[in-house]
Amino acid sequence: MHEKHLYEYAVIRVVPKVEREEFINVGLMLFCKRQKYLRIEYHLVPEKIKSICSEFDIDQLQENLDSFVKIGKGSKDGGPIAAFETAERFRWLTAVKSSSIQSSRPHSGFSFDLDATFEKLYTELVL
């Protein structure tokens, strides 16, 4: 019998004009401490972002989101945060920030299949 895993997820948001507090969901982070699982993916639709802020730097955004993914994977080229334990990386990525990349508060649930849960949430909340 498969075991249910407690997980947390947060939506990655782009806030093109921080002072306006409008955001666009662009990615998802899903974390499971027991499984040492942290998956991060994103999908950009530049036209949506440019509709809020025409001068927004999409290339810089992509570079910053790539850094999120590297940190999530614990990549050697992900900087010092990427060397943290999985839970610490997730907590750092979901910490409240006043930058153009923010995350929702973490939400929790139970899953038999973390990848399937990720795909379902990603489709519902990002795509």
Q: What tens digit of pLDDT does each residue of 12-67 get?
A: 999 998 888 899 999 999 999 999 999 999 999 999 999 999 999 999 999 999 99
Indicate whether 1 pLDDT > 70: no
- Give the C-alpha distances (Å, rounded to integers) separating 35 from 8, 31, 86, 120: 12, 9, 10, 19
CA 58, 30, 121, 115 torsion-angle sign: positive
- Is pTM beyond 0.85? Reply is yes
